[in-house]
Amino acid sequence: MSFQAYLDTIEIKTGLTPRQLVDLAREKGFDETTKATPILEWLKADYDLGRGHGMALVHVITKGPQISTKHVGTDGTHADAVDTLWLDGKDNNPQQ
């Protein structure tokens, strides 16, 4: 599953875009200095997200939407089309 696919699935499951979840995380005080565990605990408790999906959001919350180009343009399991994740709703993604 690509990084973007994780975020799209999170949106389907929660009804919130990744950007909305990042905004909620900021309201809770989570930022680039926050370790993964408290974010994962919050996502599990409030949205029933598992570790894999949670870690995708941890990345976006702590590092922003930019991802490594390692899988960009490949045909592997975790391939993404671009190195910047779309956070504003899967139905609005110009890459899809």
Q: pLDDT tens, 41-84? A: 999 999 999 999 999 999 999 999 998 887 787 877 778 888 89
Q: Is residue 93 part of a domain?
A: no
Q: Is residue 43 part of a domain?
A: yes
Domain of 39?
3-73
Q: pLDDT tens, 24-34? A: 999 999 999 99
Global pTM reads 0.90
Which of helix, strand or coil describes residue 14?
A: helix
Which of helix, strand or coil describes residue 29?
A: coil
Directed axis angle between helix 36-47 and helix 3-14, to 10°?
40
Q: Is residue 81 part of a domain?
A: no
